[in-house]
Chains A and B, each alone.
Chain A
Amino acid sequence: MTFLTHLSLTHFRNYAHLDLDFTHRLTLLQGDNAQGKTNLLEAVYLLATSKPVHAQTEREVVDWQAQEEPIPYCRVAAQVRAGEGERPLELEVIFTPRSDGLNFTKQVKVNGVGKRSMDLIGLLRAVLFLPEDIRLVDGGPGERRRYLDIALCQIDPAYCRSLSEYQKVLAQRNSLLKALREQGVQAASPAVDAQLDFWDEKLVQHGAIALAKRQNFVAELDVLARQRHADLSGGRETLYVEYLPSFNYGPLDEGEYRRWRAGNRLGEDGMSGDAGLAAFTVTPEAVAQRFTRRLGERRRRELAAGATLYGPHRDDLRLLANGRDLRAYGSRGQQRSAALALKLAEVQAMTASTGSAPLLLLDDVMSELDANRRSTLLAALEGVEQAILTTTDWDDFTPEFRAAAQCLHVRAGEVFPASEAAQADGASHGGESPRG
């Protein structure tokens, strides 16, 4: 039951200063391009995930004008109303310059007390919809892993911890494999094992938890995304979401696994056919066993590569519609529907596992969607406790929708309440009294 009540920005992107109250369940931000609508959503997203959107560098987060100032800091803060009778939360992310003058230090505070980034995640859960979400389908595997990681971290703090430990181990193990390759080590030997075994064990320990949680989350997403996608496609297509691991820990034998990986349909024996493999769940123990075996069998190959070749950092997500891989064979429209279905499924999965709906942030998505997809998306808004939307054109939304929402106009890093006249105009001018 979290509700974002207040957002305060200092030197964040194009906002010098902003103080904004959120009064309605729905907030509609209207403005021309490059006025700061997206930046506002990104600020909220930063508080939810502790990470900037699109893995931008921290330097880009700080207002470029502020960088001319003696102390070019940047602060993003929000007040969040938690459940009934609970104390409101104050979330804060502050960037201050390092002594090298190039990089920034990120500081996270909750109720004024310094915390780890990890502790911020999950306090204000948010799902961000962007016009470029289609990259989830047509982009590289890194985009899809990032999507899974951010969604899962907000749901499950244990996932976040395992992932962070895994990344530390991975960096050490990769450095070791690289050093061994440079020393000309080609095969396993007791001396090599003595150095690698510890990192193998830790890689498996944390990696197996991350893998099992991802696998089980995707199995959940698969069912939910299929339902949402059926609405979007009018039931003409069936979507399957599959987790593609870098080694086989599932129920298939090696031959079947290889055919499935290659994208070939499996036999008609019920196991697969049209249906992919997403719908199975695993335990970390089972994954750990297969993971250990894999690393043992492929030691020579990893030594030759000088890098870790197996584990969650090499995995991918595959989206199939009517048995075809959408990344390679989907039309733009199919890819857009699949990406939207995936995001809507994320909202549902998050609601189901945490007991409350996330804050929805929708950045100018209406303009990209046809009438059918729009109505599916708007229907999804019915079920959430709070949503913030941006648009360039008031007419993307019905008068009834606007009447139920807090309507704001964004211009050059400032936010004004939008008058009804301006909305009726359909023009991009808002009221005149500045807010904050």
Chain B
Amino acid sequence: MQPLAEPVSRLIDAFAQLPGIGPKTASRLAYFLLRSDESIALNLAKALEELKANTLFCSICFNIADRDPCPVCDDAQRNHALICVVEEPLDVQAIERTGEYAGVYHVLHGAISPVEGVGPDELKIAELLQRIQAGGSAAPPDVDPAHAADWTLLHPSIQEILLATNPNLEGEATAMYISRLVKPLGIRVTRLARGLPMGGDLEYADEVTLGRALTGRSEM
């Protein structure tokens, strides 16, 4: 068998490292790029290059962004007194897609799981507390007086922490841990409701979910 040209096999190996992509898909992708217009390959290369070079963590919410602060943290239209705490950046996307949420976010980058060696110190929990404590303070002297009103709008005192960690053991542990720290500060702490998925069928719901939906039933 004729060996593959080195650049092709290198690309195939690189694709195969990605999650959900096996050797077959990897070679299909590589050959697609080989045969298609050069601009497609160059576009991809450029996008990949910029992915690492031009992204950073927002210093306020720790979401992945192209600038600091991120567009959400910098948006005066949003309610900055309401912080939604999530485990991963993808969770932000999920909540944004609902179009129901006008507050801001805080990304923990994980959940408490002692088995995996993840404790509160490995997560952005201390940063969340700092953010809460800093809320409502006067604008620092280096802020241009002309923008002081904007600054106050973006840094109000925090009214509510919405815990949107996953409804599994680790997510619950994280939510509980944070609520214990935040509640004594006199701030409202809420948790996402748990229950049945839309378009679902009662008879296929598992016992735990259905049980939660029963205990958490709401008035019509």
CB proximity to A under 8 Å, residues B130-162: none
> Known contacts A161-B207, A202-B169; is A172 also within 8 Å of B115 by CB?
yes
Pairwise interchain contact A168-B169, C-beta atoms closer than 8 A: yes
Give the A-B pair count, Cβ closer than 8 A. Answer: 42
* Interface SS of A by simple majority: helix
A198/B115 in contact, CB under 8 A: no
Contacts of A179 in B (CB 8 A): 114, 117, 119
Contact of B115 among A165, A175, A194, A195 (CB under 8 A): A175
Question: Does A169 reach chain B (CB closer than 8 Å)?
Answer: yes
Chain A CB within 8 A of B88 CB: no
Given contacts A161-B207, A168-B169, contact A198 B117 (CB under 8 A): no
Residue of B nearest to A119 (CB): B206
Cβ-based interface call for B177 (8 A): yes
A195 with B119: CB separation less than 8 A: yes
B181 within 8 A of A: yes
Per-position binary interface string of chain A over residues 114-153, scored 1 when its CB falls under 8 Å from any chain B CB and 0 otherwise: 0000000000000000000000000000000000000000
Which residues of B lie under 8 Å from residue A161 when comparing CB positions? 207-208
Note all chain A residues with C-beta closer than 8 A to B177: 194-195, 198
CB distance B180 to A199 under 8 Å? Answer: no
User: How many angstroms from the CA of A202 to the CA of B113 in the assembled complex?
Assistant: 14
B74 at the interface (CB under 8 A from A): no
Q: Which residue of A lies closest to B169 (CB)?
A: A168
Neighbouring A residues of B180 by C-beta, 8 Å? 194, 197
Determine if B114 and A173 form an interchain contact, defined as CB atoms under 8 angstroms apart: yes
User: Shortest beta-carbon distance, B206 to chain A, in Å?
Assistant: 9
Query: What residues on B are CB-neighbors of A174 within 8 Å?
Result: 114
Closest Cβ of chain A to B212, distance in Å, is 14
| Minimum Cβ distance to chain B for residue A209 (Å) | 13
Q: Is residue A295 contacting chain B, with contact meaning CB distance below 8 A?
A: no
CB distance from A91 to the nearest CB of B (A): 20
Residues of B within 8 A of A362 (CB): none
CB <8 Å contact, B173 and A199:
yes
Interface assignment of B172: CB less than 8 Å from any CB of chain A: yes
A40 at the interface (CB under 8 A from B): no
The answer, yes or no, to whether B69 is at the interface (CB within 8 Å) is no
Contact A169 B115 (CB under 8 A): no
Contacts of A195 in B (CB 8 A): 112, 119-120, 177
In the assembled complex, the CB of A246 is this many whole angstroms from the nearest CB of chain B, namely 21
Cβ proximity bits B171-187 to A, threshold 8 Å, 1 near / 0 not: 01100110011000000
Of B120, B173, B207, which one neighbours A172 at CB under 8 angstroms? B173
**Interface flags, B98-141, vs A, CB<8A=1, else 0:** 00000000000000111101011000000000000000000000
Q: Does A62 contact B (CB under 8 A)?
A: no
B:76-116 near A, CB below 8 Å:
112-115
Q: Nearest Cβ in chain B — how far from A204, in angstroms?
A: 14
Smallest Cβ-Cβ distance to A201: which chain B residue: B176
Selected from B117, B169, B181, the residue in CB contact (under 8 A) with A194 is: B181
Interface residues as binary, A408-427 with B (CB distance below 8 Å gives 1, 0 otherwise): 00000000000000000000
Residue of A nearest to B178 (CB): A194
Q: Determine the distance from Cα of A58 to Cα of B117 in the docked complex, in whole angstroms.
A: 28
By a CB distance below 8 angstroms, the chain B residues around A252 are none
Residues of B with C-beta under 8 A to A173: 114
Residues of B within 8 A of A198 (CB): 172-173, 176-177
- Bound-state CA distance A169–B180 (Å) is 19
Residues of B contacting A171 with CB < 8 Å? 115
Chain B residues within an 8 Å CB radius of A201: 176
Measured CB to CB, the nearest residue on chain A to B208 is A161
Q: With a CB–CB cut-off of 8 A, which chain A residues contact B172? A: 198, 202
Give the residues from 23 to 79 in chain B that come closer than 8 angstroms, CB to CB, to chain A. none
What separation, in Å, do the CA atoms of A194 and B179 have in the docked complex?
10
A108 CB-CB contact with B under 8 Å? no
Residues of B contacting A168 in the complex (Cβ-Cβ under 8 angstroms): 169
Q: How far is the CB of B27 from chain A (nearest CB, A)?
A: 18
CB of A176 closer than 8 Å to a CB of B: yes
Interface flags for B182-220 (1: CB within 8 Å of A; 0: not) read 000000000000000000000000011000000000000
9 closest A-B pairs by beta carbon, nearest first, are A175-B114, A176-B114, A198-B176, A175-B115, A198-B173, A172-B114, A194-B180, A172-B115, A171-B115
Residues of B within 8 A of A (CB): 112-115, 117, 119-120, 169-170, 172-173, 176-177, 180-181, 207-208
Given contacts A175-B117, A198-B173, A198-B176, 14 further A-B contacts (CB under 8 A): A165-B169, A172-B114, A173-B114, A174-B114, A176-B114, A179-B114, A194-B181, A195-B112, A195-B119, A197-B176, A197-B180, A202-B169, A202-B172, A202-B173
- A residues contacting B by CB (< 8 A) are 161, 165, 168-169, 171-176, 179, 194-195, 197-199, 201-202
5 CB < 8 A contacts A-B? A165-B169, A168-B169, A194-B120, A195-B119, A195-B120
